[in-house]
Amino acid sequence: MRGYTFYQRASRAFQDYPSLSKLVVVFTVSSGGLVAFSDAKPFRGAYADAVQCDRKKKKVVSPRNYFAFTPLLPSVTIGTVEARSVVEPIRNIVRKYHGLHHCRVSMFPRLQSASEKDFDVQFREAECLRIDAKNKKVYCQSNQESNLGGKEEFTVDYDYLVIAMGARSNTFNTPGVVENCHFLKEVEDAQRIRRTVIDCFERASLPSVSEEEKKKILHFVVVGGGPTGVEFAAELHDFVVEDLAKLYPAVKDHVKITLLEAGDHILNMFDKRITAFAEEKFQRDGISVKTGSMVIKVTDKEISTKERKTGETLSVPYGMVVWSTGIGTRPVIMEFMKQIGQGNAQKESTELNIEGFKSALSEVDSQMKNLPATAQVAAQQGAYLANCFNRMDECEKHPEGPMRIRGSGHHRFRPFRYKHLGQFAPLGGEQAAAQLPGDWVSIGHSTQWLWYSVYASKLVSWRTRMLVISDWGKRFIFGRDSSRI
């Protein structure tokens, strides 16, 4: 499970710890935004009279009004799961912890009556442009044009700031990638990929298109042999074989799926047995895996690679390229890290004083660098952070962290410890591989069922859980939908 990096923290903080009351948190969402809790100070808007915030309320800011369970995005690209089944409105989530006392009711929000008092959290749909660490301000901008022209801008003050913005796709500055490739970070990306796949099949079916052109149009290239790239290639292959081949029999033989990996093997973070199984399975399935092949340029028609073994440069025409070679830090975060001097965060962790909480956050972040950017890590960090917030007063009096090296006493919080529970790699054809702690490896159909149950259990709400499970059922009965919407 990977992808929803920092945000799950936030979501967990909401769900598990309803009693947060004396804090100001700003965290950013996996979908590229910023979520802010603010307790001490109200929003400062352009219209002073419009500010009528409850001073007790925390603030959440995100450019999207929903939380997306990104580990299921590869399934959304080809319609195994619907986009709407993996998202939950943030307002539902922040409302939920009232519902915790009435569990049955929170499962059925329609039956619940609500008033403004039900919300301890105020949500704003906006993007975080800049963080001013010195003055503790977050500068936000709405995604929408206002009636007066231009986009609404406002600032949020904070006492405590949680950044859970997620990462951006890393193109390694390869020319033409941003312009010509699809990414797989957001729900919109997945929807766009789905439409593009159908577009390619429809275009290849036109009578005026030559055989050679059909082959180009139906050449799907996946760049990056990590878990996301492998899962997408496998899902696409299943979609083609199980569904599209029946609806587009005239062009089905022209389809080619190529997986490009710069390293020696795909899934190189997994056990060798899994890598070998995946490579063999892909070969049997007809997915062309090219390792040691580094993409150096993408134009609107061709993708160019440099082959490590031979040193030669190859160019192949394509119909669609999906780029998933890893993630990078968002510019707004880089700027913020510079402000708070996170380049040398290790130093700071020895000084523990008035900046107590900030430092605890730095500590988390400094450790993060060594942890994989997966949903599993993010979820555990979310729980840890919420726990820290909830026990802040208590820990002030009774520090529970490790002994200080300089000075006396303890650190305020125990440091975050990541507990690795294993990792999945779905390989298509109702087969998956799993690497469990202690070098246990499980591969095959039963592992796919394990995958189904783990993913269903990790979904953010009962609603999405039911929707995803019913999507899986629908796919089994009716196949995937090929309507271009």
Q: Per CB under 8 A, which of residues 70..99 are in contact with a copy of itself?
A: 82-84, 87-89, 91-92, 95
State which of positions 395-414 bind a copy of itself (CB under 8 A): none
Among 144, 283, 346, 446, binds a copy of itself (CB under 8 A): 144
Using CA atoms, how far apart are residues 485 and 483, in angstroms rounded to an integer?
6
Identity of the residue, 115 or 370, whose beta carbon is nearer to a copy of itself in the bound complex: 115
311 contacts 173 by C-beta, under 8 angstroms: no
Pairing of strands 219-223, 320-323: parallel
What DSSP assignment string belongs to 262-320? SSSSTTTTS-HHHHHHHHHHHHHHT-EEEESEEEEEE-SSEEEEEETTT--EEEEE-SE
Contact call for residue 483 and a copy of itself (CB under 8 A): yes
Using CA atoms, how far apart are residues 185 and 74, in angstroms rounded to an integer?
10
**3-state DSSP call for residue 244?**
helix
405 contacts 349 by C-beta, under 8 angstroms: no
Q: Binding marks (x or -) toward a copy of itself, 452..481, rule CB under 8 A?
A: -----------x--xx--x---x-xxxx-x
**3-state DSSP call for residue 467?**
helix
Tell me how far, at minimum, the Cβ of 211 lies from a copy of itself, in Å.
7
Tokens 């899934």 locate to 267
324 contacts 223 by C-beta, under 8 angstroms: yes
Contact call for residue 103 and a copy of itself (CB under 8 A): no
Q: Binding marks (x or -) toward a copy of itself, 238..277, rule CB under 8 A?
A: ----xx-xxxxxx---------------------------
State which of positions 23-42 bind a copy of itself (CB under 8 A): 42
Using CA atoms, how far apart are residues 224 and 185, in angstroms rounded to an integer?
14
Identity of the residue, 109 or 292, whose beta carbon is nearer to a copy of itself in the bound complex: 109
Among 181, 193, 197, 198, binds a copy of itself (CB under 8 A): 198
Amino acid symbol at 417: R
Contact call for residue 210 and a copy of itself (CB under 8 A): yes
Stretch that binds a copy of itself, among 60-68, 287-295, 338-346, 426-434 (CB under 8 A): 60-68
How many Cα atoms occupy the beta-carbon half-sphere of 393 within 13 Å? Answer: 6
Tell me how far, at minimum, the Cβ of 42 lies from a copy of itself, in Å.
8
Stretch that binds a copy of itself, among 150-158, 268-276, 360-368, 438-446 (CB under 8 A): 150-158
